[in-house]
Structure 1
């Protein structure tokens, strides 16, 4: 058995242990209920321990497992407060931590990608990784011209690991669904699988980063590090030091939280109009607040191509919901395939379902909080509630899936930051359809 298949078998075994562990805890939970503990106490304990195991296993892995864990991390703000501590700690670790690969493996990849004389291209190269990503790790170095650079090196066998992880994770989608109530996990896994090939070739990521760097060149609020060199499994970019949003989430001051939230919102909504692309990997490890007040954005392996900017339909939906125009809103949803043909829906119930989601646009500034996000998740996840049944009748067209996920991810980070953001002003400037005079689909 070669090293790669052996590692794949080991990874599969770790992932396969998850449902077994959950089943054992559920059985133990029933035992505790028989000796007098309440269902709520037992449920909270089982959920907390499940979270610890799930993310402990994902955190030991790379590839698709870590990528999935990072995608889940932005939903942490939606987890109820009584369960949040173990989730928060485990998810935060997933945003930046993974076991490093051996130095000899790093050098071998560099030689394969940059040539045998790769070391001559650097004045200095630190063999100790500075950070870990889902399919590679980052080393700090000095380019031959004196520039400080970040060198991202892909893990050997990352492609096999991604395939194996995602196949295994799809089998357990119902288990993960319990960790992020109100969010469909299966489409998330399918989307990760579909864009996997793009992320494995760093040349595509380099092209995307170059496009973002050109679009935001000289911008007073956003910095995108320039690409220095690229190959299929190695990418060299400018090194940037800053305060990661994960740190600000933990201990940031109020002004710092608000500034980070505003910058993130502006970057998210303005990128499609400015670059024709949407940064599609929103988790706190990919954003840093710099000393000069700018937001630094890294990791462009996942992007959505939006050459015409954000769809105008989204702006129209928000505006109609704000105005309470239920009939016009339902007709727009039907026209744009958000309602399956033949489905009967009450316009006022659809408005009641969507209206709370546009609360951030009702005033000049809005406080994005965990409590607000939790209330939305609880509302649409209540099996006995009207909103649950309305939501089940709505449809998310495939071309909106990534935009929806990324927007929800950005909102999740703003709620983790507990940031007060002028959302209405930002959306009015950058979201087509929101501030237009006539609400007609286009």
Structure 2
């Protein structure tokens, strides 16, 4: 099957995805506008099976839908969140064809052993464990067939869904969200770019012994095949019932893994899926996926820090300045007050110099209530258009917060944050960023 953006590939994909989306759209319309009672759990399971079988970025699109407040019923959201974790792998005939197309007819001779069954399957590809002639264990990440067509057709569907959503909910303009997700999804198709992102993270985290980045095997890498040395570790969520000291150690390691690159280099790991991390025997963490890496303008990082200072000092003028550095435009007092509801929720753990959990409750219910309140208020005042940079920053912050909630970590987040930002200098960050991107040969 061709991996080009063929008309046939897109049309076939569009028809399959369109059928699934049309079904959920019709049922949602009936539920909202005609007052019909639906068996949402039944339809949610059907939708999950249909989209999961299709693979590819539609799964990420579905997960995005599940995070928009009130966009779909809770039963749909719960089912759709399972897609990436439970993606069924492609069989060995696909694996053989993919490896032959990437490494040539004698590809099997490049390995001492190659597992036929996938060790892990996700939205855009699957991972196979293999052994090289020197007995080094490696992970071979294979991209599914026809993903370029899948991305383009799924983005068309996402644009359609956003346009429908906009008709009955103006709280958040989705135009820049769509632009941001489109660019990130297209980047994820390029495994050569991901290899450069790995090199970037290896450099940025070179002084962080608690974080391990995989080493690529360049002569076994292409745009659709990424081969890395295998990193052994246990799932992060296996440690939810560990002793407090262990949980706190893991939380501190995760904080460094996410925010050292951000505050020092303006780079963030934008996919909070828990399958992208594992725990070493010494409680350090392994980073396993680098397809969704976001490089931010240094001014945006400055805005994140300045918003903290504005909230700490209860300074509205400073807050406006900070939001403008984020990329928000034309903020009036009413919009500022609504945005600050969400900002105070996110920044709250950093405000007090004491040991505490990331939030008082051990579930996401309070966060959902805050998000619901913000959504309601934004809708009342006519909505807001978030800057592109906001999309992955917010997603990453919520993802990391979820990890800390699961671990029930108790840390002085205030000091951890201040130790990291130090005497922040935006010009020095810009210089470090330029140097790091040049070393990794990665575009900003």
**Change in 2 beyond 3 A, CA 1:433/1:327:** farther
Counterpart CA distance in 1 for 2:202 and 2:208 is 10
- Contact 1:95–1:285 (CA under 8 A) maintained in structure 2: no
**Change in 2 beyond 3 A, CA 1:334/1:69:** closer
Counterpart CA distance in 2 for 1:372 and 1:277 is 29
Q: Name the structure 2 match of 1:13.
A: 15
Q: Name the structure 2 match of 1:367.
A: 358
Q: Name the structure 2 match of 1:191.
A: 180
* 1:269-318 Cα distance to aligned partner (Å, 9 max, x none): 11135565321222111111222201111111121224859611211111
Out of 129, 138, 157, which is 2:127 matched to?
138
- Contact 1:427–1:434 (CA under 8 A) maintained in structure 2: no
Q: Name the structure 1 match of 2:434.
A: none
- Contact 1:381–1:388 (CA under 8 A) maintained in structure 2: yes
Out of 192, 199, 204, which is 1:203 matched to?
192
Residue 311 of structure 1 pairs with residue 305 of structure 2: no
Counterpart CA distance in 2 for 1:85 and 1:257 is 31
Residue 277 of structure 1 pairs with residue 267 of structure 2: yes
- Contact 1:8–1:160 (CA under 8 A) maintained in structure 2: yes
User: What is the alpha-carbon root mean square deviation over aligned residues?
Assistant: 4.0
- Contact 2:188–2:292 (CA under 8 A) maintained in structure 1: yes
Out of 284, 289, 293, which is 1:294 matched to?
284
Runs of 5+ in structure 2 lacking a partner? 427-444
Deviation at 1:160, TM superposition (A): 1.0
- Contact 1:258–1:420 (CA under 8 A) maintained in structure 2: yes
Q: Name the structure 2 match of 1:405.
A: 395
Deviation at 1:139, TM superposition (A): 0.4
Residue 59 of structure 1 pairs with residue 52 of structure 2: yes
Counterpart CA distance in 1 for 2:418 and 2:310 is 14
Out of 216, 220, 224, which is 1:227 matched to?
216
Give the TM-score of the pair, scaled to structure 2: 0.77
Deviation at 1:319, TM superposition (A): 1.5
Give the TM-score of the pair, scaled to structure 1: 0.78
Counterpart CA distance in 1 for 2:144 and 2:252 is 35
Runs of 5+ in structure 1 lacking a partner? 34-41, 437-442
Counterpart CA distance in 2 for 1:252 and 1:6 is 50
**Change in 2 beyond 3 A, CA 1:333/1:154:** closer
The equivalences for 1:95-110 within 5 A come to 95-110=84-99
* 1:339-364 Cα distance to aligned partner (Å, 9 max, x none): 327x4648766655643332121233
**Change in 2 beyond 3 A, CA 1:55/1:429:** farther
Counterpart CA distance in 1 for 2:193 and 2:225 is 11
